[in-house]
Amino acid sequence: MSYRGPTQALAWLYHPDSLTKGLVFGTGFGWLCVWTLDETETERKFQEVYCVRLQGGPGSSGREIVSLAYDALKSQLAVAHGSVVIHVFNLNRQFIPESRPDPAFTSISIPDHHPVGIFFGREQAEGRLVWSVGRDDGRIIMMSNNRLLIEQDEATGLAIGAACISPEQDTLVVDDVAQGPSLFRLSDDGIAFLKNLPIPSNGEIPRSVQFHLESSTAVVTGSSHGRVYILDRPTAAEIDILETGKASPVQVVDAGRDDGGAAIIVCSHSDEHARENELQLWKRRGAETFIGQAPVRIASTTASSRSGTTFNVLLGAFVFLLALHVKDQIVGWSQPSV
């Protein structure tokens, strides 16, 4: 099998009325691959059931797949390339793009648009809205689900490093690389700026952002200096600061909940030149003991929570595929770290 390029985006696949599970990932060379999970009493393994190289936008950046979003209720997959091109696929029960009805997918080319995130929004009569957030162009674009027609196109004036949507709250958080998270209200009438949630920064670098806690009342973001900030969405106040033990850039891999409902945050230092890169897995204090186990090597750095009553780092390990399901989302991949 030839090299398909680095994995750039991943989404977990499931049906609300079925035990069938899988994952889809996109690569830097434009390959879209689907794996299904085969489970027996003694073994769990993934099997590749689909892999196609998609036609993206111009150049190498246009070819790469940078973001994926999955709608379990409609069994639809949205795919964003690094430049111009966006697709929405209809998936069958095995998570394979359908050959019927025709067309099995819709596509759109948006000139001068460089997506950093693709999302399904709230439900409408023709399906859930599709939102795309631009990187250098800083545009937030709303499209209809059935034909990917642009209904709104708002220029924010920001350079955006990452984005995350809360469909239930009709709210989008983006990483303004100049100062930190910015919140926007999404509606049929327009896209409205709400507020900034500024954090200290040593320079303009992209930082991942996530909604967290009940009703998305918190925003979690990495930083250029090794701290993970948990911010109150309504007031922009700091709920907690997670000290990772290193003063280098750190990204939030995911934020969610474990099977018992306890808040979980997974973060990692974004050093692309490191030979091994550990993940840190944090759990809110007062929750029951985390039960996921993996070969653990204690990290040489010291991690701590600024607040003595909120988050507590749990365990550490190095590159190791460990998928943690938290309710309807994934908490993290591999290597949690002390």
Encode pLDDT of 78-135 as tens digits. Answer: 999 999 999 999 999 999 988 654 456 789 999 999 999 999 988 777 778 899 999 9
Contacts of 98 (CB under 8 A, 6+ apart): 89, 90, 91, 92, 104
Quick one: pLDDT at residue 253? 84
Q: Using CB atoms within 10 Å of the CB of residue 285, give its burial: 0 to 12 exposed, 13 to 18 middle, 19+ buried.
A: middle
Distance CA 39, CA 278 (A): 28
Phi, psi of 215 (to 5 degrees): 55, 30
Q: Using CB atoms within 10 Å of the CB of residue 275, give its burial: 0 to 12 exposed, 13 to 18 middle, 19+ buried.
A: exposed
| pLDDT < 50: residue spans in the chain | 101-102, 287-302, 308-309, 314-338
pTM here is 0.79
List the beta bridge partners of residue 123. Answer: 128
Quick one: pLDDT at residue 319? 30
1-155: CATH homologous superfamily? YVTN repeat-like/Quinoprotein amine dehydrogenase (2.130.10.10)
